[in-house]
Amino acid sequence: MPTLQFSSLSEFVQMGTYSFHVWVVYLLFVLFVGYNLILPGVQRKQFIRQQKRRVARDAELATQAASRQGLNNRSAE
């Protein structure tokens, strides 16, 4: 079985006549892996932000409802 050996760094970078194809595949691989490593963190932060907004909105609505309930009870007296 032949071994792959390059006599210089330049020869390695050129990859024979296939350098364009090889480096494009490496680039796509890095982009794919990077995307799959970063996306879950971004989605997690977005989910946490949404939940905090929902909790704040629900608390404000509860406060408004309690305030209205208090006004209704006073006007009925």
Q: Could you tell me what percent of the chain has a pLDDT over 90?
A: 55
Mean pLDDT rounded to a whole number for the chain: 87
Greatest CA separation found in the chain? 97
SS3 content of the chain, % helix, strand, coil (to 5): 85, 0, 15
pLDDT of residue 4: 67
User: pTM of whole model > 0.85?
Assistant: no
Phi first, then psi: what are they for 61, rounded to 5°?
A: -65, -40
By the 8 A CB rule, do 68 and 75 touch?
A: no
